[in-house]
Structure formats: C-alpha cells, structure tokens
Amino acid sequence: MLSGLEEAYTCTEVPEVKLRVELMGMKGDNVMGMGPDLSWMFDFSGTVMPIFLIVMVGILAVSAGRGLLQWSRNNSSPMLTIPARIVSKRSEIRQQQVQEDNGSSRTSTTYYLTYELNGGTRIEFKVDGHEYGMSAEGDKGMLTYQGTRYHGFERQPQYSTAE
C-alpha cells in the first residue's frame, strides 16, 4: 500500500502535484534549496532580530517615559525664588567626529552653575552661555527654579567699601 506522499510522487500527469511534492520533500537544513550553510539565517532573523527590536523599542519607551515623568514632576513642583550663592562653575565640552572626507568635527559646550542655598544644600543647573559668562563664583542673589528646571538668577549688587 502506497502512502499519500508516494502516490502523489508517482503521479507524473499533473505537474502541479509533482512540484508540490518535491518542495514538501526538502529537509529543514535545505530550506528553499539554499543548502545547510544558509539555514542559520532564518533562525537568526526569526529569533534574534525580533528580540533585538523588542529591546530597542523597550529602551526608547523607558527613555520617553522618564522624560515625561521628569517633565510632569517639574510642572507639578512649585516655582521657588530663594536666596542663593554661586559656589561653582563648570563647562562640559563634547567633540564629535563627523564621518566626512575632510575630517571635520562638531563641538558642543554645556554650561553648569552650582548654587548653595541658605541651609547649605547645593543644586546644580544647566544654563546657557550668556548666563554662565555673566556669573562669577561668590555671586549672591535670588535663584528661581521649578523642580529641576532653571528659571534664572538675579544678582544682588555688591559694593566695594575700599576707596
């Protein structure tokens, strides 16, 4: 007694059936006639790539979630204006090589000011270049901020007693 597969294989009158049987007869390591050397690509793209994409989407979602959470916290925080003193200035210079023939690079500078509040607590804020340039360590004034969001620093005039 012939099995269904053998019967279909012996049927030569219908080319459609013969082609279907030939395709069904291929082993897993000879996917689509590529041979055993290329079958790993289907395993890789079928398992590793989806995991990689899920991880990347997860990282983006966590980053966006953290940004939204910080934004929400800042918005719900009260706007505070309190006496403070500038205790430190720092800048961070980042240089990035541009992939071009001329070997140019891109540079960006980020400026930070550290303020000391009356209780001795220190807070550091990212500021623009103009604010950074106009500030000096030891300046006293009124610091305005909301959560982690810097709104400004109004310096108190300091008069020299030496004349």
State the pLDDT confidence band at 153, using cuts at 50, 70 and 90: very high
pLDDT tens digit sequence for 117-128: 999 999 999 999
Q: Over 50: is that where the pLDDT of 27 sits?
A: no
- Domain 78-155: give its CATH code: 2.40.50.660
pLDDT tens digit sequence for 50-82: 889 999 999 999 999 999 999 999 999 999 999
The domains of the chain are located at 4-33, 45-76, 78-155
pLDDT tens digit sequence for 90-118: 999 999 887 766 778 889 999 999 999 99
Tell me the whole-structure pTM to 2 decimals: 0.61
3-state secondary structure 75-118: HHCCCEEEEEEEEEEEEEEEEEECCCCCCCEEEEEEEEEEEEEC
Q: Over 70: is that where the pLDDT of 145 sits?
A: yes
Q: Which amino acid is at 112?
A: Y
Residue 3 sits at φ, ψ, to 5 deg, of -80, 170
